[in-house]
Amino acid sequence: MVITRSRSKNNRKADPDRSKERYAYRPRSTFEDSDALVGYRTIDHYLQYDCLLTREELQRLDEHVYSAVDTSWLDELCMKKFWEAVVLYYPLWVAPNLLTLIGLIVNLTTVIVLSFYCPTATETAPAWAYFLAALGLFVYQTLDATDGKQARRIGASSPLGELFDHGCDSASQVFVTLNVCYALQLGTVRCGVFIACLISVSLFYTAHWSTYCTGQLRFARFDVTEAQWSIITMLLCTAVFGPGIWSIGIFGYYLKHLLLSAVALGTIYQALGYLSVIFTDGVGKNGSTVAGTSVLFPICPLLAVIVPYCMIYSKSASNVYDASIVLFVLQFGAVAAKATNRLIVAHMSRSELSLWDWIYMGPIALMINQYYDIKMDESRLLKYTTVYVYLSLLVYCFFITRQICDHMGIYCFKVTQPRAGSSK
């Protein structure tokens, strides 16, 4: 078992006894004037209640101490040694967040390539496209694992790095899952692509839900690294033998059906482990969250993401969402990513979660169009709402990042000297 902790640049000591007072409930205070406001009442109202943190939340985020327990089998066997060797080749002027962003762009590039050749996840892409996806995931994994090591190497560790890392992971989740769907041609299975993405983002959210309750990110024996190497192996097999290999019959079932069944069982097992932690290991008063709120409430944002898209997908009288399944799950992934980012920010700033988010206007528009039989083309509305939800996600990420940088006196993509009085 490896336990890691890294402190913010202010070098404030965390309470060694994890006292209940640290995790007491503190309702959100009123917003104060911020340099992030633009001067227009409507826009400023949107920014205040959707994108900005209060002064107290920023102070608590500045005090945040990263804590993780890593028992991953592959990490301990060989990957940590490999990553520690790789980070030595990075120039000292390379900012850790830049490495994280490059990994996200690599994942986005590979999913765009495969989406071009497999728009409905039923087609066969060139072998090099699957190989590129496997290589891209390996590069992403390496950059994602070494950005924190680079931060500690150059003395640039900060809460922003943790937030940026996990935020990019939440966005990449749907990209990686889509590449798996392309390799297995899950578009031939009714609801296959949507269910795969649903399971992926839900499990990722639940992992951070448990962190919101315990204040500690916990990795199991078979976790992210092992799952990523399984996907890399799957993509390489697809590149060599073609996607038809997953339709080979074994005991009367397609190989891909057996793989999906194994994934479903593993997901259930891991989700039950997270739920056990959520209900029993809360660090706040009476087993509450780090914000002193109910451990059950974080399920509300998750349901607010899942339920509308399940209703939209099942209610459609046409095959527009099957024909545009990539666009549909990309929109779903963006809404889920913002919900996860809010949960991560709430954990790091020890603040309560809000139920409403303006990004929900995307799926709400799709639902209203369906349930009230408004004569608007579903395909066109899907495109418009997808643009809207990604703009909402990007605006949120931009203003949260800018606020933290201004508060801590650092840059996001540039290495800066530590502030006076801070530790290396």
Question: Is 166 designated active site?
Answer: yes
CA angle 17/18/19 to nearest 5° reads 90
Tokens of 75: 């990490």
Q: How many helices (H) and strands (E) does the chain have?
A: 15, 5
Active-site entry in 64, 166, 208, 347: 166
Distance CA 265, CA 262 (A): 5
Alpha-carbon distance of 63 to 318, in angstroms, equals 52
| Cα 267 from Cα 73, distance rounded (Å) | 18
Q: What is the Cα–Cα distance from 209 to 205, expressed in whole angstroms?
A: 6
Summarize the chain as % helix, strand, coil (round to 5). 65, 5, 30
* Phi, psi dihedrals of residue 354, rounded to the nearest 5°: -100, 145
Is the distance from CB of 404 to CB of 35 less than 8 angstroms? no
Is the separation of the CB atoms in 72 and 224 below 8 Å?
Answer: yes
> Which residues participate in catalysis according to the annotation?
166
